[in-house]
Structure 1
């Protein structure tokens, strides 16, 4: 791995050296300026374009704009805003020079806000960067969702689960330990294989920091052709804020219920007068208590980035990302005989000194080269290091009917190093009258994971009873009697039991073509070849003084994708698609052998529509996903004994997921913006293995119904409340199942039915003072109680009613 890391460093530094060396050869000019109203207020979302070369941009919230990499020449610059007369100015651009050009519309700020429709992109106009090639959503035979910065900001999004309240069919499966959000879609978990940051796989063992996020993209359904070895429900891509040449930034402070404090900064601008290098730095510190007794958290995050205009055709983006997160390990209120314990929502059953500590480091470099018109090559290298340590009370299990619980301990330590490189060639061409949008690419990545397990019974080693010495016993408490807690608060020293080192190599080749057969018919077809080598893993048994191994094994497969789009008009798109993919199953089965991969078939059918001059978008999608061999954590081993190692898994047999998703969204109309969605999903074992999973049983943790609705309103300029805006959100999650599936092997197991719930949030914002804004938010207004549950031993209540306030200064 050290050799790979050195190679990665050489690549990054060569990119940087090349970028710096070529900066002086830039033969382009730059136009920048500020658009204002007659009362000297900034005019946002104004379209700025050059007539001769059809290059355009939008002014930001401060009215600032810039057009970069312009060849020397004479141009006509047009500033336009929906409902207003265009402003036109001639401009002369010279190589290596910056032209400052400011505009002022004759309308004042109040009049500008009276425009019926503000300039912006609708739901079916937002292209996803995770798609690797720019395909209009109306041309894509797939359901997607993009949650932009304006939504993240006005909803004061704190964690990724807040974003899900705006996305149909993507939901929270669990919050195991209070340190991880387990996300799923269409019945399938979004593991670290399905989670990306800026297009590179991202370990989701720790909750991502949202303060530096520009947008979150969701590509639902099958995406194996683009990434390989991804689960069937979809992928999510977190896009961080990028450098800007226009200087600016913001300073904010957020506070809220349960001693929550979060200062943040965001600075950006050019590093040189010729504006060939731009920077951006996002950073935040968070300290918080919790509605759960004795539970608290602390985190630090920083996200520096640099953007180089190497020359007229080449750019280089270098991004860093660092997160340190420490919080109390909290596995919830427990269950007794598969019934959630009737204890206060705030009651903490763990040990006060218990913790989960995670540290995450990322570095990536992306070089983009424009080859000629409509052709581009893009290369990326990314390195990630993730380390986490968990130590505390074991999960609340086997609690007696009277509330007595014999507490044990759990401790684990994980270190993961991940190296990725990929290159994509995209372009457009025609064969006769048939148009093609082509993607050809390759990627390779390397993982190395080191996992430590610890001896949890060694603090009983000196006991008189041999049977007791073998048990994981820390102390005994009663969950109904808080006075029984605190009997023992010392922190035992646990020795390492074994260290497992698992290296994995992956490689993929893929090609995809969007074929424009006519104005109405488009065909998307492609195939990926994936190869994965799980190399020989070593198992060092420290307690026994021996070394073992897990044999290496290899999987490879072709993953095809085909989709047909029919567009009877420019505002209506009907599509159908088929994908086939495979997912490599890590770990060992109950007999100690490697697990074969899961083969997944998915069919999707849908319609995307833009109505009323694109003011309203309505999309509907139907799907069916068949996984021929879903791998799940084994409940017992082959001999019937308990599985205490999460790496022991078994194939549950065929699982089928089918459902429908409905999405509705508007552009801003008379100050109103509306979003809504509904999804139905039914995921069941359709070919259970007959041992622990029975055909017809519903898959756990997945709600059958989810729904969301939000409305945001900006008060008009002539109103008494002209500087205010307000928002209201509703989010519904249907009933789910947890516990354990009863089966012939385990007839005494039971399922836990989790109640449905609806969350209502309300927010209000004020932006009347120059550069300052204030936002207030009230969540879970009705104080609804429900739970996220993993099996029957991590029963975590959802958060009660909470208040948050954010003050921000922008410059």
Structure 2
């Protein structure tokens, strides 16, 4: 392994001498606004070359390696009209310019629904590690900006991500968490500023508050090069990074209050300011408090959220960011409803809202703390260094009931009867990640431009869980009124179970630009992992290599055709023994082929992407059972699982005052050659068709000036809530050889209206206006939650 790494490093460094010998022009200068005030963070961009810089604390920029000739320079800053200027550059000559920008009254439209134009979304480097814009990536990435979140009035991660094609809710596990699905994978990893918060490999997800979110970044497909081992069940389906707000070196503030259905009350605030005259330090703090009841009796929630951050620019080449993110959330778990027939028949009971399966004292309390320290240092015109450490600490306590079908239900057919049990659990989940990256850009060997990332990362998880005894309480009939009086039972904690995992990886990524028509992407990662549970060494140890190959063809300006091959490797259970009691299961590798089209129009204000993907896992294993149906401790090969499909995405602005988001995803997923799953059967909750659309129109003129109207439509197609197996599997509470029913497709329609008066903005949100009924479910776990019925909210914000 060490020899291979040395060869990689020598290959990378061998060309540095020729790279630095190039005699291209250097472009430097300043960007100023009204009264010649320096603008910090303005973007200076040479569009056809794909190079640029952001102004520092003195309003200065510096761009190296500008080839000789005349190039269009685009200068932009939030709240100001962009400037485009043709500038001639001579070989070896330093060019200096000062750009004067004028304020734009239509400030709100400078930020698109996907974020800021021509800028990499904030903290995208925690997700991809290499400094590329989205259109330069050989994989599918969607970005949901704070603007979109605010305009749509969404409060949950589940509602936000449905603006990305093929991404949606896997399950809420009784409205206690947010587990996502993509490309037919359950529980894709969700990280905050690059660090995971909930370490369960099943991808249970976690709760977050969108008040502190700057962008939500969704990479569909393999993320192994930057993120490492794919031990989660959903790792190959993608990863979601929640990037929180940090100072932008401006003085501004926003306070708001939202109220609505079911007693919702939600005050919020967001304040940021520059703390010194030299504009080298800045502070930002935002937060929220929320409480609400529910359409279902005995169900409620309350939360407090706080997100302070500090930024320091000690000199023109260095930036340091420190931040923290804290959430306290307390809520009532709600199993939702039940299916009144066998698993093969869709007969979901529309549970009356005055009927609740649990007890009035059921409660889940979650305290989540995340933190980040990051330093970015520009070494010279070509090289920069990034170091970041992010950590999380989640403590979750849950005490409550769980209702299950009776054991003899398949013989009696009494699906309306449910046995209720009472229990408790506690989870103390600590995670951390350290990332170190050497980044090179605008380096040339001959006529080839290089952008590369040489990185190292270290990840750790320290998990302790405690479960109480389970006490059977009673049997209830869901067709009759249900008693919710708290049971008089005594719960005792069991012994704590502690597990620790450690992983590190080294990676090399490079993008070679041969001309304006062709780019080649290469990547290679080495990952190693070890762990221990109690006093037992984990079965997830070992090491792997994951490659990436990709190409981008640009036949016309702003039109990119791309194709890539990547892998995602899991070592979870790699040391398990097969039935011969000698051979280990080994690593499970998912191979992904992806190709498509990326286009940008209207000065980068509108984007369209089309992606086809094919993913194959041919090393599935399941536990071997004896004749009594008990686990033998050994495993057998279980065929392969193939996923392929198409994703279409349109985001941006169709007109100067019309925002648009549209998406469609087709998924063909099925098990093949499996002794456990029926041929061609789909994974649970994998919808073949999903679609989303949203329009928001703002009036600029006339008596309707400053009025905005929006509408969103979200479609989820039929999907199985369980898997079609040949036999009962341990931990899978479904009936074997019973083809699962397909849950009905459903469509949700939301409306928004807003009106701005000077610094005040009033918004009205009408959600699920047609009162559509759909379900999210972890069916075999007993969770079957309906969508929220029609509801309304009003929000008032004041900016200063």
Which residue of the other structure, out of 648, 662, 667, is the alignment partner of 1:676?
662
Paired residue secondary structure (1:310): strand
5+ unaligned residues in a row in structure 2: which ranges? 1-27, 63-72, 86-98, 199-203, 729-734
1:423-438 alignment to 2 at 5 Å? Answer: 423-428=436-441, 429-438=443-452
Q: How many residues align?
A: 710
Question: Deviations for 1:490-537, whole angstroms, at most 9, x for unmatched residues?
Answer: 3522122342211111010000110112221111001000001022x1
- The 2-side partners of 1:626 and 1:427 are apart by 34
- The 2-side partners of 1:169 and 1:312 are apart by 42
> 1:282 aligned to 2:286?
yes
Which residue of the other structure, out of 365, 379, 384, is the alignment partner of 2:387?
379
> 1:619 aligned to 2:609?
yes
Structure 1 position 165, deviation (Å): 2.5
Which residue is 2:377 aligned to? Answer: 369
- The 2-side partners of 1:85 and 1:359 are apart by 44
- The 2-side partners of 1:221 and 1:494 are apart by 43
Which residue of the other structure, out of 296, 302, 306, is the alignment partner of 1:302?
306
Question: Deviations for 1:260-303, whole angstroms, at most 9, x for unmatched residues?
Answer: 11111111112223222111111111111111221111111111
Which residue is 2:557 aligned to? Answer: 570
Contact 1:173 1:788 in 2 (8 A): yes
Paired residue secondary structure (1:474): strand
Question: Deviations for 1:102-134, whole angstroms, at most 9, x for unmatched residues?
Answer: 9766x9x5xx79x9x978697995535122222
Paired residue secondary structure (1:232): helix
Paired residue secondary structure (1:663): strand
Structure 1 position 70, deviation (Å): 6.8
Contact 1:122 1:666 in 2 (8 A): yes
- The 1-side partners of 2:266 and 2:455 are apart by 41
Paired residue secondary structure (1:496): coil
Which residue is 1:723 aligned to? Answer: 706
- The 1-side partners of 2:763 and 2:384 are apart by 42
Contact 2:540 2:573 in 1 (8 A): no
In structure 2, relative to structure 1, the CA distance for the partners of 1:600 and 1:102 (3 Å cut) is: closer
Structure 1 position 654, deviation (Å): 1.5
1:453-472 alignment to 2 at 5 Å? Answer: 453-457=467-471
Question: Deviations for 1:135-189, whole angstroms, at most 9, x for unmatched residues?
Answer: 1333321111111121111111201111122111111111112111210111113
Which residue of the other structure, out of 134, 145, 148, is the alignment partner of 1:137?
134
CA RMSD of aligned residues (A): 3.7
- The 2-side partners of 1:246 and 1:81 are apart by 11
Contact 1:332 1:797 in 2 (8 A): yes
TM-score, length-scaled by structure 1 = 0.80
Which residue of the other structure, out of 770, 785, 794, is the alignment partner of 1:782?
770
Which residue of the other structure, out of 613, 629, 641, is the alignment partner of 1:655?
641
Paired residue secondary structure (1:207): coil
Which residue is 1:585 aligned to? Answer: 572
Which residue is 1:355 aligned to? Answer: 363
- The 2-side partners of 1:246 and 1:131 are apart by 27
5+ unaligned residues in a row in structure 1: which ranges? 1-27, 37-43, 59-64, 89-100, 458-472, 539-547
In structure 2, relative to structure 1, the CA distance for the partners of 1:598 and 1:450 (3 Å cut) is: same
In structure 2, relative to structure 1, the CA distance for the partners of 1:587 and 1:266 (3 Å cut) is: farther
Contact 1:591 1:638 in 2 (8 A): no
Which residue is 1:11 aligned to? Answer: none
Paired residue secondary structure (2:262): coil
In structure 2, relative to structure 1, the CA distance for the partners of 1:410 and 1:626 (3 Å cut) is: farther
Structure 1 position 595, deviation (Å): 6.8
Question: Deviations for 1:420-478, whole angstroms, at most 9, x for unmatched residues?
Answer: 21101111211111111010000001111111122214xxxxxxxxxxxxxxx211211
Which residue of the other structure, out of 510, 518, 522, is the alignment partner of 1:521?
518
Contact 1:206 1:358 in 2 (8 A): no
Which residue is 1:628 aligned to? Answer: 618
Structure 1 position 210, deviation (Å): 0.5
Which residue is 2:224 aligned to? Answer: 224
Contact 1:713 1:725 in 2 (8 A): yes
Contact 1:396 1:794 in 2 (8 A): no
Structure 1 position 201, deviation (Å): 2.6
- The 1-side partners of 2:784 and 2:264 are apart by 23
Which residue of the other structure, out of 480, 483, 486, is the alignment partner of 1:485?
483
- The 2-side partners of 1:78 and 1:568 are apart by 26
In structure 2, relative to structure 1, the CA distance for the partners of 1:190 and 1:68 (3 Å cut) is: farther
Structure 1 position 389, deviation (Å): 1.7
Which residue is 1:243 aligned to? Answer: 247
> 1:807 aligned to 2:791?
no
- The 2-side partners of 1:525 and 1:669 are apart by 37
Question: Deviations for 1:324-379, whole angstroms, at most 9, x for unmatched residues?
Answer: 11111111112233344423352321111111111111122001111001311000
